[in-house]
Structure 1
Amino acid sequence: MDNPERVKINEDKSLTVLVDENAYSFTEKQYLKSDKGKILLKHAAVMQLAKLTGVIVDEPQLLHTHNPSIYVFLRKATRNALQSFAAIGESNAKNLYDDLMKTFPAETADNRAYERAVLGILGLHGEIYGASEVNYKDNSGGSPPPSASKKEPKKIEKPENTETIEETQDTEIEKDSDGNPVWWDDLGIGVYTDKQLDPEILMVTEGPCKGKGWNIKQLYDYMYKSCLYFAERIALDSASEDFQKQVYSCRRAIRKYGMK
C-alpha cells in the first residue's frame, strides 16, 4: 500500500505529515500501522499536531450515554478563526478493542472525537487516523497492544507512600464514626476559595485525563474511579498546589453529586 501523498514514512521509520506545505515529524513510537496498512497516530501525537498547527479544540460535550460502556461525545475544532470542524466519538461493547478501552470507555469515546476533529479540520482524516479509532489488528479482529488505544501514560504526581489507582480501587474506604469517608469534611476550606475548587470550573491537571480539557465534574461523570482516587488522597503536605486543588475539588464533587 502506497503512503498518502501528504503522509510519508521515512527510511528511519519516522513519520512526516504535511499541512499547508509545512512538514511535521513524528517518531516511530508516536504512530502505528494497522494490518491493512492504515497509519494510526497516537493520541498524544494528535494533540501535538493540533498545537503545532494552531488547532484549538473545545471542551467535550456528552451527547449520549445509557450504560457504563456506551458514550457519545462531541468535539469542535477551530483554526485561524476561519475554519471549524465538529466530530463525534463513540464507544460501545463492539468497538472497545482491548482491556484498556473497556476500562475507560468514556475516555476512549472522547479521544475518538478529539482525534477526528483535529485530523478532520486539517483535511487529514482518511489519510491517517487516530489510534483510538481503528483496530490495530483490522484484518484478524485481534486486539492492539495497549499503546495503540491510549496516549502514552503520564506520571501522576502524588505524595509519597500512597497507593496506586489500581490498589485503591479494590481497597475498602476508611470511614469515620458517622459512616462517612475520613476525608468527607476535609474540603480545603480556608486553604482555597470555593471558586478555586468548584468542580464545574476547576480543570483536571493530574492523572491520565490531564490535558483532555475536562473539568472535575466531567471527571466525576465519566471516570468516577479516578475522581474517587484523588478524593481519597490523605497525605497532602508534600503535594503540589494543583494536586491539592484536584483532591479537594474531587471530594466536593462526590459530596455534591453523590457516591457511586
Structure 2
Amino acid sequence: MLKPIDQRRRFRDQLETGTTSGMCDNYLQANLITLPKEYAFDFLLFCQRNPKPCPIIDVLEPGEYQPRVAEADIRTDLPKYRIYKNGKLSEEVYDIKKYWREDFVTFLIGCSFTFEKALLDEGIRLLHQEQQRVVPMYKTNIPCESAGCFEGNMVVSMRALTPEEADRAVDITNNFQTSHGGPVHIGKPEEIGIKDLDKPDYGQSVDFNKEERIPVFWACGVTPQNVCLQAKPEIVISHAPGHMLITDQLEEQ
C-alpha cells in the first residue's frame, strides 16, 4: 500500500481518479470546502455549531493551498473535485489550479473513511469496498444549526451491517470524534427522511440482504456541500463525494 505522499502524487499526475476508501490505512482523510473569504466566518461558525457532520481538521489562510496536515497542494492532490456556481453543480475536474483565487479560504473536514480500517480490523465487512463502489450518501431531514447564510439538513453515509457488527461499530467509531464519531441513526431510513436506499443522493448504492443486514448511518462531510447549495455563493469548490484528501496525520487511536 502506498504512503499518503505517494498516493497524492498519483492523483496530482492523474494516474488515479477513483474513490479514496480503503487507501492509506491509518491516515486521516479529509473533505474539502473552498469558498471566497467573505463567506469564511459564517462557514467556520456553521462548522463549530455542527461538529458531528463538520469536524474541522484544518483551516487555511486566504489564498493558501498547502495545509498543515499534509505535504500537499490542495489544488491538485485530490482525485476529483466539484465546482459549484451560484448553488448549482457546474462541473467535475481533476485539478483546480485554473480556478484558484487569492481570496479563497479552504476548510478540511473529517471523513468517515478514516475509521474504516478500524472496522475491518475487527472483522466488520464493508460492502461498498467489496463491491468497489463509492459509499452511498443520503440527504436527510435531520436539521443542522444555521450560521449566517448557511443552513440546511445533514447528509449521512451508510454502511450495511449485521446487528452484531452494528453494535461493535458504535463502540469503535465513538473513538473517532474528528471523523464524525459514532452513528447518528441505525435502521429505518424513513425516520430520517430517506425514501429509497437504492437511490443515494451521492455515491453509489450497495447490494445487501435486508433480512441479514441493517443500514447504519454516520454524519457525512458532504453536508457542507449540501448547505452551500442553499447559500449559493458565486463559487464553491469541494472534493467530489468519496474522493478525499489523504493527509499525513495518523488517525485517532
TM-score range, shorter chain: under 0.3
Q: TM-score, length-normalised on structure 1? A: 0.25
Considering fraction of residues, name the structure with more strand: 2
Q: TM-score, length-normalised on structure 2? A: 0.25
Instruction: Say which structure, 1 or 2, has more relative contact order (CA 8 Å, 6+ apart).
Output: 2
